Amino acid sequence: MTKYVKKPIPVEAIQWFKHGDHPKVLQRMNGSFFIKTLEGFMDVTSGDFIIEGIHGEYYPVKPDIFEKTYCTKLEYPKIAKRYLKEYVKDRSNKIILD
């Protein structure tokens, strides 16, 4: 199986905690919250990150997934080098980065 790494595309994100934290998060009549995404309506709960995607769409991401998947632009070079060392190898199976 071929391994893939997400392309480093910057996104805007804010952590949502309560009504009013993000204008795209709406409240249902029953008091729960949701956001309209390209895939339909998704529930939003306190602590979720609201991300603006590359096409201007919005979607929620749970905090644990966000922490594993995203980093700040300042953290990126260090993290990228660490992951590339793990995945980028030449034909002799040696890591090609220092």
pLDDT of residue 94: 58
- Give the three-state DSSP class for 20: coil
Query: What Rg value do the Cα atoms of the chain yield, rounded?
Result: 18
Kindly report the pTM of this predicted structure. 0.77
Extract the tokens encoding 1: 């199986």
30-88 per-position pLDDT tens digit = 999 999 999 999 999 999 999 999 899 999 999 999 999 898 888 888 887 877 776 66
pLDDT of residue 71: 87
pLDDT of residue 38: 94
